Amino acid sequence: MLKLTRMEQKIDIERAIRDHHKLIEISRKLYDATPEILCPYFKSNVSLTSDGFNHLLHKPNRQPRNIQEQKLKLRLLKHGLAIISNTGTLQEYRTTLEKYGTPGRDGFSKTKQVEYWGFHNIVGKEPMILIRIIIRRIGDGKLHFWSVMPIGKIGKQKLYRNDVEE
């Protein structure tokens, strides 16, 4: 068994951190390059907001996602953005009431209706991976990109799914 010295371990960790930050930087440039994408399903534009990008890196409660989860979502981002411009068939729809803003003096929070649309597509050759993108609209606001995630590999093998959240 190969044993690494403390210095070698530190260098490996630093390299992994640099690679992760580089992936975030490249993904951010890709995301910011196109502020809106025309979606055939909606026959209107879907905005690429900072909320959508932050959701790739953080959970809904603003806690950071684990590094593996962030890398997975960032690697799927390019495919997810391509799905928006090509999709014509809805696979999922959900509507909820969600809190927004800070609670008032009475302790109650205001709520708005939030709609989510899910679109699936198969990407890759070997292995083929089924991915899902989520488009969200809060109240009567604009449609915006919310998330991209794997659903699984096509075939018998499983794709990394530990702690992967919307």
Q: Which residue has the higher pLDDT, 159 or 102?
A: 102
Contact status, residue 65 vs residue 59, Cβ threshold 8 Å: yes
pLDDT tens-place string over residues 45-97: 999 999 999 999 998 888 988 888 898 899 899 999 999 999 889 999 999 99
pLDDT at 58: 92
Which amino acid is residue 153, in one-letter code? K
13, containing H or E segment:
helix 6-33
Query: Regarding predicted confidence, which is higher, 44 or 158?
Result: 44
Residue that wins the pLDDT comparison between 156 and 14: 14
Q: According to the model, what pLDDT value does residue 118 have?
A: 95
**pLDDT, greater one: 153 or 36:** 36
DSSP 41-82: TTTEEEE--HHHHHHHHB-TTSPBPPHHHHHHHHHHHHHHHH
pLDDT of residue 161: 46
Q: How confident is the model at residue 4 (pLDDT cuts 50, 70, 90)?
A: low
83: CB partners within 8 A, 6+ apart: 119, 121, 131, 133
pLDDT of residue 86: 92
By mean pLDDT, which of 44-53, 102-111, 128-137 is the weakest?
102-111
What is residue 3's predicted lDDT score, i.e. its pLDDT?
Answer: 60
The burial class, CB within 10 Å (0-12 / 13-18 / 19+), for 76 is buried
